[in-house]
Amino acid sequence: MGKMTKKVKQYMTPGHNKVGAFTISTEMLRELPMSIVNKIFKDIIVVRAEMLLHKNAIEYIANGEPFDEIGIGEQVPEYEIMIHEFFPSGNALFLKKQIKIEWKRK
């Protein structure tokens, strides 16, 4: 994703100044289980989505808890999505695999 040129003011609402940008390839969206896609989008509100044909990806700008607070006029920071799959402590034979989504600021 190129450098964000959009200013934060355009996407902010009063009391909600946690804004972030991220890109997901269309291939990844097709291949990920819906349960993981739901976890990625559960704590955010997408305010802009743009299909980037040259990258075969979708660029998103969203408001939500996973992002750092930023001020009016600042550039929207970019984030990477890290997906962690693990078994909680105990006997993995009887436990359901857990999925954790981590947002890492670039």
Query: Mean pLDDT of residues grouped by 10 in the chain (106 residues)?
Result: 49 71 96 93 95 96 92 91 81 74 95
Whether residue 97 is contained in a domain is answered as no
- Domain range spanning residue 37? 8-79
pTM greater than 0.85: no
CA–CA dist 34, 105 (Å, integer): 24
Cα torsion angle, 85, 18, 11, 43, sign: positive
pLDDT at position 99 is 87
Q: Domain for residue 88, yes or no? A: no
Q: What is the pLDDT of residue 94?
A: 65
Q: Are 7 and 75 in contact (CB under 8 A)?
A: yes
Question: Number of folded domains in the chain?
Answer: 1
C-alpha to C-alpha distance for 74 and 70, rounded to whole angstroms = 7
User: 36: part of which helix (H) or strand (E)?
Assistant: helix 34-41
What is the per-residue pLDDT for 91?
A: 62
Residue 66 falls inside a structural domain: yes
